[in-house]
């Protein structure tokens, strides 16, 4: 069996009286893109926070690279992009990249090479010296993605990475994500865009605190007997 980059087993998470995650089983293998879809409030962000160790599981287990989370040292192997852009807007794009690179513990000699590389990936090289508060929404999103890519982490956790990015750039981002996968690195991605879900290797459907279905996109369509992932989503939710 292939070693899993991350593995959630029977994960339970409660906030006060409210049980947000009831029984989540989810794993991302090495060299795989896993899409996590589900309606708002299904617990997607909680899955991500538990994976990163910001929250502790109330039941079941959460491991990354076979180590139980939370674990601080392991975070240097995880690239995280939040739903909010989370940038320091008084600083320039480059200063943001350098700061987060320092926080990730990238060595001084590598920092320049590393920031130049990620900036090129998200097509921000020409705007790196501008302050972030003069950036457009799409540019901020791209810078945020670039920060997640810093240090070539073995696991990328991306929360809605392509919101506000134009189609041409989105295609470019996905090309990059696929080449990351082909290097044997793993990606967990949440998305609202259903045709993006089709691009994932496997898709997990999170509903009501449980993973209702978790398979290849084509297998899911067969299982629900529909043509698109969007229909799978709607059918599972019971709208149609």
Partner 1 sequence: MRTIAIMKRVLKELLRDKRTLALMFFAPILILLLMSFIFNSNATPNVDIATINLPNALYDNINNTKHVDTYKYSTKKAAKESLNNGKVDAIIQKKDNNYDLTYANTDSTKTTAVKAVFNASMTKTNVSTMKKQLIITTTALAKLTGQPASTSAKSAAPKINNHYVYGNKDTGFFDKILPILMGFFVFFFVFLISGMALLKERTSGTLDRLLATPVKRSEIVFGYMLSYGILAIIQTILIVLVTVWLLGVEIKGNIISVIVINLILALVALAFGILLSTFAKSEFQMMQFIPIVVIPQVFFSGIIPLDSMAQWVSDISYIIPIKYSGDAVADIMMRGSSIWSLGLDISVLLGILVVLTWLNIVGLKRYRKV
Site for partner 1 in 13-52 (CB under 8 A): 52
Stretch that binds partner 1, among 23-31, 99-107, 175-183, 184-192 (CB under 8 A): 99-107
Beta carbon nearer to partner 1, 85 or 196: 85
Site for partner 1 in 54-73 (CB under 8 A): 54-56, 70-73
Contact status: 95 vs partner 1 (CB under 8 A): yes
Contact status: 105 vs partner 1 (CB under 8 A): yes
Residue 177 CB, nearest approach to partner 1 (Å):
19
Stretch that binds partner 1, among 19-27, 101-109, 134-142, 180-188 (CB under 8 A): 101-109
Cα 219 to Cα 203: distance, rounded to the nearest angstrom:
10
Among 82, 149, 165, 204, binds partner 1 (CB under 8 A): 82
Residue whose C-alpha is closest to residue 52's, from 13, 88, 22, 87: 13
Looking from the CA of 149 toward its CB, the CA atoms found within 13 Å total 23
Burial class (CB in 10 A: 0-12, 13-18, 19+), 234: middle
Rama region for 28: left / alpha / beta (φ>0; ψ in -120 to 50; rest) = beta
> CA 189, 203, 170: angle at the middle one, nearest 5?
45
Binding site for partner 1 (CB under 8 A): 52-56, 70-76, 78, 80, 82-88, 90-91, 95, 99-100, 102-105, 147
């Amino acid at each position: 069996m292939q070693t899993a980059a991350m593995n959630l087993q029977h994960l339970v998470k409660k906030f006060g009286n409210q049980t947000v995650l009831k029984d989540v089983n989810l794993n991302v293998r090495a060299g795989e893109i896993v899409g996590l879809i589900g309606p708002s409030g299904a617990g997607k962000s909680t899955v991500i926070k538990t994976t990163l160790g910001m929250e502790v599981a109330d039941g079941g287990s959460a491991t990354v690279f076979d180590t139980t989370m939370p674990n601080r040292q392991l975070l240097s192997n995880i690239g995280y992009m939040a739903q909010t852009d989370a940038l320091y807007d008084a600083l320039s794009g480059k200063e943001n990249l350098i700061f987060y690179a320092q926080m990730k513990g990238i060595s001084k000699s590598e920092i320049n090479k590393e920031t130049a590389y990620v900036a090129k990936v998200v097509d921000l090289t020409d705007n790196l010296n501008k302050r972030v508060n003069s950036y457009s929404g799409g540019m901020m999103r791209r810078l945020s993605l670039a920060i997640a890519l810093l240090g070539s982490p073995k696991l990328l956790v991306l929360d809605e990475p392509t919101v506000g990015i134009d189609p041409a750039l989105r295609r470019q981002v996905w090309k990059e994500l696929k080449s990351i996968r082909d290097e044997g690195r793993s990606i967990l991605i949440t998305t609202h865009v259903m045709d993006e879900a089709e691009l994932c290797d496997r898709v997990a459907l999170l509903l009501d605190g449980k993973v209702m279905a978790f398979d290849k996109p084509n297998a899911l369509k067969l299982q629900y007997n529909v043509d698109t992932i969007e229909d799978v989503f709607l059918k599972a939710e019971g709208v149609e």
